[in-house]
Amino acid sequence: MSRAKAAVKKRAYHHGDLRDQLVAAAEAIILERGVEGFTLREAARRAGVSPAAPAHHFKDAKGLLGEVALRGFRDFGEALDAGDRRGGDDPYRRLMEQGNAYVNFALKHPARFQLMFAHGKYDITYPGLAETGDKAFRVLERAVRAAYAANPGDDLSPDAYGYLMAVWSIVHGFAHLTLGGEFDWAARQRGGGKDTILKHFLPLTLKHLPLPSR
């Protein structure tokens, strides 16, 4: 009997799949109760193990959330990359598609996104996390480099930096404010929820995305 099979059998002393199931439980808890509602003991309870069991897979509670954040940044980076590719050759379209992907990811995976930018909640020194986060961020930088025709390795021009920050700010701000419910009045006007925001108000907003000056 394999380890994974043993996991479905109840009360096996050795869980067999605890690490992954702790991550899954953590994501579920954050989704249900918000980042604030997460507790390590609850995650252990859902996985059917004692409160001390997670210590054998993660340094502490913030370590487990570090793994959740890492997986979030990995998928996030891939989503941005897919958006970038959808943009083809046009620098503006590449940035526009990335912006759409950015907000779409946030609204499709609110638990992950909220955690990823909830500083202090997870261990930022978790192995691989910094690299994975940087990788995601560099997808955006790459598109800005192309838009400003910067050679690889060269520093971006001040204006290119400003543009990079402006684009990042507008999509991140929109995602953060939407998840925070600050645009609920807008959704209520159209009688819808997240879908309305994504399909109706995001395009309305992103059409004001600044154009790269070169």
Work out how close the CB of 49 gets to DNA at its nearest, in angstroms, rounded to a whole number: 3
Given DNA, a second copy, none, residue 24, with its beta carbon under 5 to 8 Å by kind, binds none
Residues 62-101 touching a second copy, rule: CB under 8 A, are none
- Using the rule CB under 7 A, is 6 a contact of DNA? yes
Work out how close the CB of 138 gets to DNA at its nearest, in angstroms, rounded to a whole number: 31
According to CB under 8 A, which one of 45, 71, 74, 176 is a site residue for a second copy? 176
Burial of 85 (C-beta count, 10 Å sphere; 0-12/13-18/19+) = exposed
According to CB under 7 A, which one of 50, 125, 169, 213 is a site residue for DNA? 50
Pick between residue 13 and residue 185 the one whose CB is nearest to DNA.
13
Q: Do 70 and 126 meet the contact criterion of CB atoms below 8 Å apart?
A: yes
Work out how close the CB of 169 gets to a second copy at its nearest, in angstroms, rounded to a whole number: 3
Burial of 53 (C-beta count, 10 Å sphere; 0-12/13-18/19+) = middle
**Who contacts 45 (Cβ-Cβ below 8 Å, separation ≥6)?**
none
What is the per-residue binding string for DNA in 59-78, x denoting contact by CB under 7 A?
Answer: -xxx----------------
Given a second copy, DNA, none, residue 150, with its beta carbon under 5 to 8 Å by kind, binds none
Pick between residue 65 and residue 139 the one whose CB is nearest to DNA.
65
- Using the rule CB under 8 A, is 36 a contact of a second copy? yes
Q: Which of 96, 95, 100 is nearest to 146 (CA)?
A: 95
Residue 149: both structure tokens together: 């025709």
Given a second copy, DNA, none, residue 205, with its beta carbon under 5 to 8 Å by kind, binds a second copy
> Nearest-5° angle of CA 169, CA 173, CA 176?
140
Q: Do 100 and 175 meet the contact criterion of CB atoms below 8 Å apart?
A: no
List contacts with a second copy (CB under 8 A): 34-37, 117, 119-121, 137, 155, 158-159, 161-163, 165-174, 176-177, 180-183, 186, 189, 201, 204-210
* Interaction site with DNA (CB under 7 A): 3, 6, 12-16, 18, 38-42, 48-53, 55-57, 60-62
